[in-house]
């Protein structure tokens, strides 16, 4: 392996590990672990995690059913069970190598069905692109609905009122400029190499979305999208019922936690370790659970919530991943 590939591998896999370890250290360098243990023993009804596990599993099944629609569009008719296991395996691989799971599932299905890897990969990109658009829509709605909580948080800081105004104005300007940039990249004609590369990316993303609109079963695709993200939200909402200090928060605070954690998952890390807890703890402080930045003893409950919910989800991904790779091994032996 030459030096260039070594550096590339270090960047690809080393940075997520550094992010995960760094944020975990930042969050818990001053944490009173005994206080967290006490919260986990006194504030949690663990029976609530049974429906959380069921809902989380169905989110992966619905994702497989949605991807099957896209695969059929390109002539790939893989069995649903195989596609479901590819989704289970994706999240398991992502625990070890962030973002590599999507490439793995495309390769697995392409190899199993003797299909074009690039076509299967393109369907996966369109699948993920629809998630990006969904997160954007949910995020805009949530920030509009919960702006009072964010403004109140900012107002508590020194010079908070001015900061609040600047932040809201900055978000608005950034959104407008972002849309304007995308439109310009899509419509302009340029010979600049960098601009042409960006244009190619924008065109590919647009074509991916347009293909969804043209595909057979697009209304089923929309329904599965709603079910997938509904499950994601509901598993966090039900998990909040397990804790005495979040059981009465209501749908909007949990929606804020959901959006913040979804944004946090965009940060490359191993299974969301670090960014997920960071965003959840921050979201809880908006509604009076803990303090931000975390400090002893105020963040014990928020930390207990973040770690336990993440831990249950991660354990489920490991179990589903083991099941998936067992099925794949037996399936290959049979074929």
* CA dihedral sign, ordered 41, 44, 46, 52: negative
Q: Give 284's contacts (C-beta < 8 A, 6+ positions apart).
A: 246, 257, 290, 301, 302, 305, 306
**Alpha-carbon distances, residue 36 vs 244, 278, 308 (angstroms):** 14, 16, 10
pLDDT at 230 over 70: yes
Q: Percent of the chain having pLDDT more than 70?
A: 66
What is the phi/psi pair of residue 279, to 5°?
Answer: -70, -35
- Map residue 243 onto helix, strand or coil: strand
pLDDT value at 312 more than 90: yes
Instruction: Give pLDDT tens digits for 268-293.
Output: 666 777 788 888 888 888 887 766 55
Stated pTM of the model:
0.80
What the block records as the tokens of 228 is: 């997938």
Give pLDDT tens digits for 97-129.
877 888 899 999 999 999 888 888 888 888 888
Distances in whole angstroms, Cα of residue 196 to Cα of each of 101, 177, 190: 29, 19, 7
pLDDT in tens, 40-78: 888 889 999 999 999 999 999 999 999 999 888 888 899
pLDDT digits (tens, 9 = 90+) for 295-308: 544 468 888 898 89
Query: Mind listing the pLDDT tens digit for each residue in 171-211?
Result: 556 656 666 766 666 566 666 666 666 666 666 556 555 66
Question: Residue 318 pLDDT > 90, yes or no?
Answer: yes
Helix locations, 146-159, DSSP H: 147-155
Domains of the chain by residue range = 33-334
Contacts of 305 by beta carbon, 8 Å cutoff, 6+ apart: 240, 243, 245, 246, 280, 284, 289
Please determine, for residue 164, whether its predicted confidence score (pLDDT) is greater than 50: no
What pLDDT score was predicted for residue 165? 52
Residue 44 has φ and ψ, to the nearest 5°, of -120, 135
């Amino acid at each position: 392996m030459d030096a260039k590939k070594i550096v590339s591998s270090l960047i690809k896999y080393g940075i997520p590990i550094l992010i995960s370890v760094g944020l975990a250290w930042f969050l818990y360098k001053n944490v009173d672990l005994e206080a967290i243990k006490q919260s986990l023993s006194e504030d949690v009804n663990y029976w609530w995690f049974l429906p959380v596990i069921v809902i989380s599993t169905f989110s992966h099944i619905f994702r497989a059913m949605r991807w099957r629609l896209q695969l059929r569009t390109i002539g790939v008719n893989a069995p649903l069970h195989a596609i479901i296991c590819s989704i289970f395996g994706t999240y398991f691989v992502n625990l070890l190598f962030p973002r590599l799971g999507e490439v793995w599932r495309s390769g697995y299905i392409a190899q199993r069905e003797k299909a074009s890897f690039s076509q299967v990969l393109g369907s996966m990109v369109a699948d993920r692109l629809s998630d990006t658009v969904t997160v954007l829509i949910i995020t805009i709605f949530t920030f509009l609905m919960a702006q009072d909580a964010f403004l109140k948080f900012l107002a508590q800081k020194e010079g908070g009122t001015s900061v609040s105004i600047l932040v809201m104005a900055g978000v608005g300007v950034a959104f407008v400029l972002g849309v304007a940039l995308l439109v310009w990249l899509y419509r302009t004609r340029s010979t600049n190499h960098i601009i042409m590369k960006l244009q190619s990316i924008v065109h590919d993303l647009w074509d991916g979305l347009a293909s969804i609109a043209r595909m057979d079963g697009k209304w089923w695709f929309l329904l599965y999208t709603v079910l997938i993200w509904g499950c994601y939200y509901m598993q966090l909402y039900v998990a909040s019922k397990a804790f005495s200090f979040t059981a009465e928060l209501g749908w909007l605070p949990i929606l804020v936690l959901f959006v913040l954690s979804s944004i946090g998952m965009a940060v490359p890390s191993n299974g969301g370790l670090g960014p997920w807890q960071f965003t959840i703890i921050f979201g809880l402080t908006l509604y009076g659970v803990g303090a931000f930045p975390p400090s002893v003893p105020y963040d014990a409950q928020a930390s207990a919530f973040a770690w336990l919910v993440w831990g249950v989800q991660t354990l489920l991904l490991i179990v589903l991943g083991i099941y998936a790779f067992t099925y794949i091994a037996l399936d290959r032996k049979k074929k």
